[in-house]
Amino acid sequence: MAKVALKLGDDISTDIIYPGRFMATVLPSETPQYAFADNAEFNAQLKKGEIASGSVIVAGDNFGCGSSREQAASCLKGYDLTIVARHFARIFLQNAINLGLNTIICPDIEASEGDELEITKESIKNKTTGKTFKVTPLPRARQAIIDAGGLIAYTRQRLLKKV
């Protein structure tokens, strides 16, 4: 069971997720502190550990639009968040997959902050409202990268299998 920590609308840009003024910080161990930096309340909750690992951000269409900054995905991965969106911007989605950020496409998702979600590969059940929504699965190869923890971990696993 996962709790919705933040509900967002459409067209959430990478600058909202990870403001450009912090682009000098690129290490995945340091980027999380700037996640949603302009949303002072949510950023403070993340930093204080008030948002549990595995919590969910629910968004509308075009999540991660804008620039190709990888930090937008790495700062969310640093808190082990799951992102459920109706649709992801192409470059953000590929960055998220490469970093092993759990991303779920759910075109009809309806959820509010505080709702409890039961997430499976096929569907998301909003336990608070009782509604169930179909998930659009990622291609198997892309999901395998996320499941492995990112492209580096996935490649390492593949190489070790060959040895």
d(CA 78, CA 62): 22
Q: Is residue 101 part of a domain?
A: yes
pLDDT at 94 over 80: yes
d(CA 76, CA 85): 14
**What's the confidence (pLDDT) of residue 157?**
93
Q: How confident is the model at residue 162 (pLDDT cuts 50, 70, 90)?
A: confident
**What's the confidence (pLDDT) of residue 159?**
93
**What's the confidence (pLDDT) of residue 82?**
98
Mean pLDDT across 22-48: 93
Owning domain of residue 26: 2-138
Q: Kindly write down the DSSP assignment for every residue of 79-117, as one continuous string.
A: TT-EEEES-B-HHHHHHHHHHT-EEEE-TT----TT-EE
Q: Is residue 156 part of a domain?
A: no
The CATH number of whichever domain residue 70 belongs to comes to 3.20.19.10
Q: Is residue 64 part of a domain?
A: yes
Q: Is residue 153 part of a domain?
A: no
d(CA 72, CA 96): 9
What's the total number of domains in the chain? Answer: 1
pLDDT tens, residue by residue, 45-89: 999 999 999 999 999 999 999 988 899 999 999 999 999 999 999
CB contact at 8 A, 119 and 104 = yes
Q: Is residue 53 part of a domain?
A: yes
Q: Please give the mean pLDDT across all residues of the chain.
A: 96
Q: How confident is the model at residue 26 (pLDDT cuts 50, 70, 90)?
A: confident
Q: How confident is the model at residue 153 (pLDDT cuts 50, 70, 90)?
A: very high
Mean pLDDT across 127-139: 97
**What's the confidence (pLDDT) of residue 28?**
84
pTM of the predicted structure, to 2 decimals: 0.94
Mean pLDDT across 21-45: 93
**What's the confidence (pLDDT) of residue 9?**
98
